[in-house]
Amino acid sequence: MTRMTSDPWQLMRLWQDDLSRGTRNNLAQRDDSSVLGGDWTPAIDIKEEDDRYVLHADIPGVEPEKIELSMEDGMLTIKGEKRHEVTENKEGFKRVERSYGSFYRRFSLPDNTDPELIKASGKDGVLEVIIPKVEAKRSKKIEIHPKRGS
């Protein structure tokens, strides 16, 4: 079952992840439009280019065809599960750091994207999602005329 972001310790784990990766981002710069869930959180980079957005997600140990990618109402969702390798001998472990279980990431994308044009591929534990930009809808100025009569 997927857990959502109601975990009160999530911000502390995100901060710890940032410190362990050596990034200089402060918490105020974090994108509030993203949602985390599941048992572990894949690291994700999103880069904006002139004509597209490029997303790279580190999802080692998960075959690309086992990852579910969808976009609905301007939200891009990546979810799946990294299965634990079952070993007979559980004794002798000095350290266990690899994460297993379900993952769930969701991002709000700008209006200038089209879900029909999104392409994704995976290789060597990295999911790449190409999100082309489309011309943004322009607002139309509506002229207001004075009402006559009455």
Instruction: Give Cα separations from 131 to 12, 42, 134 (angstroms).
Output: 30, 19, 10
| Of 64 and 99, more confident | 64
Indicate the pLDDT class of residue 120, thresholds 50, 70 and 90: very high
| Residues shown for the chain | 150
Percent of the chain clearing pLDDT 70 (strictly above): 71
138 pLDDT above the threshold of 90: no
First-last CA distance in the chain: 63
Bridge partners of 70, per DSSP, are: 77
Query: What's the token pair of residue 138?
Result: 């322009």
pLDDT digits (tens, 9 = 90+) for 10-66: 666 666 666 665 544 433 344 545 566 778 888 999 999 999 999 999 999 899 999
CATH fold of the domain at 10-84+101-132: Immunoglobulin-like (2.60.40)
* Single pTM value for the model: 0.64
Residues 52 and 130: their CA atoms lie apart, in Å, by: 7
Helices H / strands E in the chain, number of each: 1, 8
The whole-number pLDDT of residue 56 equals 97
Bridge partners of 107, per DSSP, are: 76
Place of tokens 């297993």: 100
